[in-house]
C-alpha cells in the first residue's frame, strides 16, 4: 500500500502523477553534477521519473527484491531481462511451454545474435539436466505455463542452473507475487507483465523486472537507459492504484476459480480440467509446495473439439471472449486459434493444446453468476 510513497510539498493523499519528460536545474554546475552522479536527482524520464520510482519501490518491497525497474509492457520486460545480460556465444535453456511472444524472442531473435538455445519439456527435470552446458548463461521459464498450466520446479531448476553459473529468470505472471515468490525459491530475476493482475482492470500496458541490487543497477539499468522501453508515468500511476488492491483481487478471483474448477470437474461435456489448486492437477504436490494458492486461471477441454469449443464460447453471456488475462472481468479464450495460432501443429499437440481446450481467466463477478453462465453455455 505504502511502499515507496514520497509525497510532494502539497501532501496529496494518493500518489502524484509526474507527467513530465524532463527536469530543470538551478545552474549549469547543478546540471553537470547530476550527470556525473555527484548530485542526486532526476535527469530525464527515460532514465527515471518520480512516479515510476514509487511503483518500482513498491514492487521491490512486495517481491522482496533488491531492486526493480518498470517497462512499457511485459514483453519489453522479458526482452530487456534477457538482452541486458546475453552476448554472442552464450546459451539459453527454456521450456517449450511459453507465452507465444516469449517463445518468439527465444526461438527467433536470440539465435540471430549468436545465442544458442535449447528447449525442454519444463516438467521433466532430466531434460533440464541434459540441456545445461558450460556456456549456459540464462534460463527463462514461466510457471504455471500458458495455457496448459504446467508447473516447473523453480528450486530444482535453479540449483542446476547455478551449478553452471547461469541466471534464472522467471515470468511470474500467472501465479502473481501474492502466491509465488521465485526469488525465495532460488530464481535470480522475476519479470511481470503488469498489464495482467497488477493493473488487472484493463486500463494499460506495463511491465516490471526485479532482481538483486547489483543486477538491477549494473546490468539492467544501463540497458534500459540507452534502449528506452520506458514506462509512461501515467501508466505507472495506474499500476500503483492496481497494487493497492492486488492482494484482495487475486485472492477473491482465486476463490471464484476454485469454485469454478470444482464445478467443471463434475460437469457434463468436459474431458479434462486443469487447475493448479486442484488435487486432480498432475503436479498437485509441486504446485502446493511452490504456490500458496492455485491462482486465477482455469483451463479445460471440451468434448467435440473446435466446433464445440466455439459454440460454447459463443453461448456465454457474462464471460467475455478475450485473450487478455488477470482482469477483474472474467475472460475466456480458445488458445489454439488465438494466442497460440502461430505455434506449429506438432508443438501444440506435444504441449497438449488441443482444439477443444479453452482458457478461462476468472474475474471478480459473483461466483454463482459465473457458474450459471458456464452451466447454461455447456448445456
Ligand atoms: C501477457 C504476458 C506477457 C506479455 O506482456 P504484455 O504486457 O502483453 O507485453 C508475457 N508473459 C506472460 C506469461 C503473459 O501472460
Question: Which is more confidently placed, 329 or 99?
Answer: 329
| Residue with CA closest to ligand 1 atom 15 | 173
Residue 173 near ligand 1, beta carbon < 6 Å = yes
Q: DSSP letters of 279-316?
A: TTSTTHHHHHHH-SS--SEEEEEETTHHHHHHHHHHH-
C-alpha cell at position 132 = 545445461
The pTM assigned to this predicted structure is 0.97
Q: In whole angstroms, give the CA distance from residue 331 to residue 333.
A: 7
Q: Return the CATH fold of 28-243.
A: 3.40.640
Residue 335 near ligand 1, beta carbon < 6 Å = no
Mean per-residue pLDDT over the chain, rounded: 97
Average pLDDT over residues 115-142: 98
Give tens-digit pLDDT for 108-122: 999 999 999 999 999
pLDDT value for 100: 87
Give tens-digit pLDDT for 250-306: 999 999 999 999 999 999 999 999 999 999 999 999 999 999 999 999 999 999 999
Give tens-digit pLDDT for 32-78: 999 999 999 999 999 999 999 999 999 999 999 999 999 999 999 99
Angle, helices 233-265 vs 367-378, to 10°: value is 60
The DSSP bridge partners found for residue 272 are: 301
Please report the atom of ligand 1 found closest to the CA of residue 194.
Answer: 7
Please report the atom of ligand 1 found closest to the CA of residue 98.
Answer: 13
What architecture does CATH give domain 246-378?
Answer: Alpha-Beta Complex (3.90)
Please report the atom of ligand 1 found closest to the CA of residue 205.
Answer: 7
Average pLDDT over residues 189-213: 98
Alpha-carbon dihedral angle through residues 260, 262, 263, 265, given to the nearest 10 degrees: 120
Domain range summary for the chain, segments of one domain joined by +: 28-243, 246-378
| C-alpha distances out from residue 341 to 26, 96, 100, 118, 345, Å | 55, 15, 9, 22, 9
Cis? peptide before 148, omega within 30° of 0: no
pLDDT value for 342: 84
- Answer yes or no: same fold for 28-243 and 246-378: no
Give tens-digit pLDDT for 155-164: 999 999 999 9
pLDDT value for 198: 98
Q: In whole angstroms, give the CA distance from residue 74 to residue 133.
A: 28
Q: DSSP letters of 3-56?
A: TT----TT--SSPP----SB---SSHHHHHHHHHTSS-S--BTTT--HHHHHHH
Q: In whole angstroms, give the CA distance from residue 116 to residue 9.
A: 52
- 153 contacts 125 by C-beta, under 8 angstroms: yes
Residue 359 near ligand 1, beta carbon < 6 Å = no
DSSP 73: S
pLDDT value for 343: 87
Amino acid at each position: 500500500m505504502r511502499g515507496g510513497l514520497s509525497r510532494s510539498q502539497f501532501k496529496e493523499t494518493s500518489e502524484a502523477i509526474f507527467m513530465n519528460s524532463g527536469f530543470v536545474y538551478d545552474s549549469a554546475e547543478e546540471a553537470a553534477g547530476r550527470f556525473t552522479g555527484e548530485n542526486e536527482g532526476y535527469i530525464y524520464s527515460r532514465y527515471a521519473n518520480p512516479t515510476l520510482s514509487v511503483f518500482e519501490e513498491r514492487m521491490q518491497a512486495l517481491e522482496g527484491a533488491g531492486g526493480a525497474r518498470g517497462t512499457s509492457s511485459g514483453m519489453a520486460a522479458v526482452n530487456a531481462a534477457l538482452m541486458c545480460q546475453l552476448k554472442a556465444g552464450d546459451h539459453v535453456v527454456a521450456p517449450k511451454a511459453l507465452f507465444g511472444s516469449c517463445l518468439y524472442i527465444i526461438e527467433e531473435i536470440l539465435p540471430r545474435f549468436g545465442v544458442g538455445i535449447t528447449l525442454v519439456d519444463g516438467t521433466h527435470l532430466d531434460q533440464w539436466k541434459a540441456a545445461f552446458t558450460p556456456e549456459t548463461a540464462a534460463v527463462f521459464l514461466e510457471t504455471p505455463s500458458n495455457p496448459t498450466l504446467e508447473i516447473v520446479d523453480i528450486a530444482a531448476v535453479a540449483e542446476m542452473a547455478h551449478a553452471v553459473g547461469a541466471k534464472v529468470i522467471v515470468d511470474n505472471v500467472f501465479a502473481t507475487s501474492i502466491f509465488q515468490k521465485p526469488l525465495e525459491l532460488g530464481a535470480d530475476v522475476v519479470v511481470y507483465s503488469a498489464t495482467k493482475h497488477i493493473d488487472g482492470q484493463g486500463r494499460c500496458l506495463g511491465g516490471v523486472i526485479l532482481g538483486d541490487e547489483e543486477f538491477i543497477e549494473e546490468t539492467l539499468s544501463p540497458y534500459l537507459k540507452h534502449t528506452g522501453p520506458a514506462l509512461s508515468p501515467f501508466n505507472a500511476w495506474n499500476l500503483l492504484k492496481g497494487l493497492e488492491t492486488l492482494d484482495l483481487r487475486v485472492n477473491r478471483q482465486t476463490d471464484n476459480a476454485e469454485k469454478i474448477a470444482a464445478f467443471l470437474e463434475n460437469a457434463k461435456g468436459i474431458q479434462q480440467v486443469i487447475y493448479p489448486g486442484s488435487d486432480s492437477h498432475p503436479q498437485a504436490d509441486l504446485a502446493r509446495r511452490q504456490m500458496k494458492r492455485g491462482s486465477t486461471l482455469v483451463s479445460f477441454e471440451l468434448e467435440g473439439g473446435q466446433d464445440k469449443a466455439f459454440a460454447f464460447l459463443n453461448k456465454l453471456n457474462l464471460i467475455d471472449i478475450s485473450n487478455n488475462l488477470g482482469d477483474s472481468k472474467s475472460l475466456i479464450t480458445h488458445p489454439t486459434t488465438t494466442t497460440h495460432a502461430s505455434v506449429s501443429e506438432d508443438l501444440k499437440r506435444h504441449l497438449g493444446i488441443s482444439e477443444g481446450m479453452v482458457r478461462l481467466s476468472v474475474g471478480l463477478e459473483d461466483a454463482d453468476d459465473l457458474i450459471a453462465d458456464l452451466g447454461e453455455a455447456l448445456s
